[in-house]
Structure 1
């Protein structure tokens, strides 16, 4: 009985889809996602700015009570590196459009685009176009992750994961003191000689009057701004480490087997589909070299460690029709 009802429900849904009943609803949903994506882009910039401000101006100065200066300088340099890479790759991921409609006559035909599309292309109803090598539509960058911007998206989430992990590890003592209001430690932060000299030299003398600078921090502490910022920054970093870290690991797995998420979904199931997925897998090393653009004498340091934009790179060893569209 339950199976019959489920079958009837599925048949009803199929009929409604075929006769266009859900089209207006889908159009509204897609339009909403596009508008929401514009807001979320600004939200990402706000969050990254907040994390950077709290880390550089509250957590690192406060950690002088527990860590040596050389370690804090190292943290500062690492923080600047992560911040620049996060902002750079996020900007590239959301502004570089993935390759669109690379098909030719004889390929599959997309009725929505009214154009041919290759086997590796997928139509995105939100972007309203066929995207080559589509992984997924990301509302946080307000466009699809596909060929040409997938590399920047991966490096963005990878650097964000590493930055969140650094805050979690290095800022634990600050989080503990501010969460439980360890007054002795907080008072020592303001009375320490290191605070009066180092921060005065690095920040106050260059940009502000020292009296104004200390007054600002006093107001922050009294009003609870510093405590709220540190606690929120630490908890937000923990959430990012779990969620974005999980996304990073999932992308590592997909890249390692030579698939996008769409490929993984489409080619999972029958033996024929699994065989097709295996044809996309060029081997662990080749998959990563192709994805990161390590071709034409490009090095890992130049393409990954340094923030750099690269044009799409095809496999040199093209053996079949499907391989033509293997691009970064």
Structure 2
């Protein structure tokens, strides 16, 4: 049981209890003090005590204004984020065609063919999975005839199947809900979880590819022909090193990435070419780092058969079972290999090529209403083993 005394009531309670223990006071005075202590205790339990109070409940109450803000404004920020993704992706692709691809074409014909095939394969997958993630419905439970019910949604007042959660932004329950993604302006659930994850994978591969192709041009435009103290990929460290080195040597004026003075009219094309190369590499490098961390987090969850919501639920269950000297296992963890096969929807190498490496609209396994549960067997020497 979790409870906390209010400071003033705690002080009064302690003082009454201590004074009531003094033996030389009259019995009537001690009885009244003991009665006052009991009254303060009762008052505390009436006003402040809650059996379900915990640190997580307190944090949830403190974050309630943030939840309110997300509920009220996230649906309006969604179209802004989608527009931002479209604009940035279009700019990166345009600069690649205008600036980077002609530079690649001057190397050799085989490399040019490779870049055309590989680059367009990535582009098609990125566009396809993003559009499917945005416009595909994540899946909602039917109002009636739900085959398996684990609870009732307090907001929808409707039955909830396993792994179903209510999205306050969309205002409805989502089958196997992972999270509400503002970059998709849509919930990530049973029907579009695969599209979301593959979009992250292909976009991450695309940013690495563009950074690799534009690395030489970026190095020329950012550092010139001078040697760098760090590898060119760590351009912020080289910029700081260059600024300190040149500031200590008056004979070498500091270089500026973008010249604040307007260039002559005949150099406008070269000037904007310079800006485009820098913008392309810096943007793709930053997205590679941020998107890579997000992709690794979701890959870890998929490997364990969890969603972003279920990982917190399972951690709470593990702590409860641990207090009872028991081990909690995720009932939807079928093992590493099967988790990925169920998530991506392939069963062989051929289906992997058709359904993962190429754009595919195949539906996920199951209807999202009924989920098979993994079974375990306890062995003395190995503990719980997945059957």
Matched, 1:107 2:150: yes
- After alignment, is 146-155 or 101-110 more displaced? 101-110
Matched, 1:303 2:355: yes
SS at structure 1 position matched to 2:316: coil
Deviation of 1:175 (Å): 0.6
User: TM-score, length-normalised on structure 1?
Assistant: 0.74
What residue in structure 1 maps to residue 344 of structure 2?
Answer: 292
- After alignment, is 29-38 or 229-238 more displaced? 29-38
Matched, 1:172 2:215: yes
Deviation of 1:14 (Å): 6.5
Q: How does 1:19-30 map to 2 (within 5 A)?
A: 26=67, 29-30=70-71
Deviation of 1:76 (Å): 2.4
Q: Deviations over 1:245-273 (max 9, x none)?
A: 11111121111111111111111134349
What residue in structure 2 maps to residue 220 of structure 1?
Answer: 269
For residues 201 and 161 of structure 2, what CA distance do their matches in structure 1 show?
A: 30
Matched, 1:50 2:91: yes
What residue in structure 2 maps to residue 159 of structure 1?
Answer: 202
- After alignment, is 289-298 or 141-150 more displaced? 289-298
For residues 112 and 83 of structure 2, what CA distance do their matches in structure 1 show?
A: 30
For residues 123 and 6 of structure 2, what CA distance do their matches in structure 1 show?
A: 54
Q: Deviations over 1:122-160 (max 9, x none)?
A: 111111111111111100001111101000011100000
Match among 97, 113, 121 for residue 73 of structure 1: 113
Pick closer, same or farther for the CA change 1:57–1:283 going to 2, 3 Å. Answer: same
Matched, 1:312 2:364: yes
Pick closer, same or farther for the CA change 1:173–1:90 going to 2, 3 Å. Answer: same
SS at structure 2 position matched to 1:267: helix
Pick closer, same or farther for the CA change 1:217–1:177 going to 2, 3 Å. Answer: farther
SS at structure 1 position matched to 2:121: helix
Kindly indicate which of the two structures has a greater share of residues assigned to helix.
1
Aligned-residue CA RMSD in angstroms?
A: 3.4
For residues 173 and 296 of structure 1, what CA distance do their matches in structure 2 show?
A: 40
What residue in structure 1 maps to residue 309 of structure 2?
Answer: 262
The structure number with the bigger radius of gyration is 2
Match among 282, 291, 294 for residue 334 of structure 2: 282
For residues 153 and 272 of structure 2, what CA distance do their matches in structure 1 show?
A: 54
Partners of 1:99 and 1:132 within 8 A in 2: yes
Q: Deviations over 1:24-63 (max 9, x none)?
A: x855532311111111111111111111111121012124
Q: Deviations over 1:78-108 (max 9, x none)?
A: 1111111111100000110111125557530
Partners of 1:179 and 1:231 within 8 A in 2: yes
What residue in structure 1 maps to residue 382 of structure 2?
Answer: none
Matched, 1:237 2:278: no
For residues 124 and 298 of structure 1, what CA distance do their matches in structure 2 show?
A: 37
What residue in structure 1 maps to residue 245 of structure 2?
Answer: none
For residues 298 and 148 of structure 2, what CA distance do their matches in structure 1 show?
A: 32
For residues 266 and 164 of structure 2, what CA distance do their matches in structure 1 show?
A: 54
For residues 296 and 171 of structure 1, what CA distance do their matches in structure 2 show?
A: 36
- Number of aligned pairs? 276
For residues 121 and 140 of structure 1, what CA distance do their matches in structure 2 show?
A: 22
Structure 2 unaligned spans of 5+ = 8-47, 226-264, 374-387
User: TM-score, length-normalised on structure 2?
Assistant: 0.63
For residues 287 and 317 of structure 2, what CA distance do their matches in structure 1 show?
A: 36
Deviation of 1:180 (Å): 3.5
Structure 1 unaligned spans of 5+ = 183-215, 316-320
Q: How does 1:86-101 map to 2 (within 5 A)?
A: 86-101=126-141
Pick closer, same or farther for the CA change 1:234–1:296 going to 2, 3 Å. Answer: closer
Deviation of 1:73 (Å): 2.7
Deviation of 1:217 (Å): 10
Deviation of 1:284 (Å): 1.4
SS at structure 1 position matched to 2:92: helix
What residue in structure 1 maps to residue 188 of structure 2?
Answer: 145
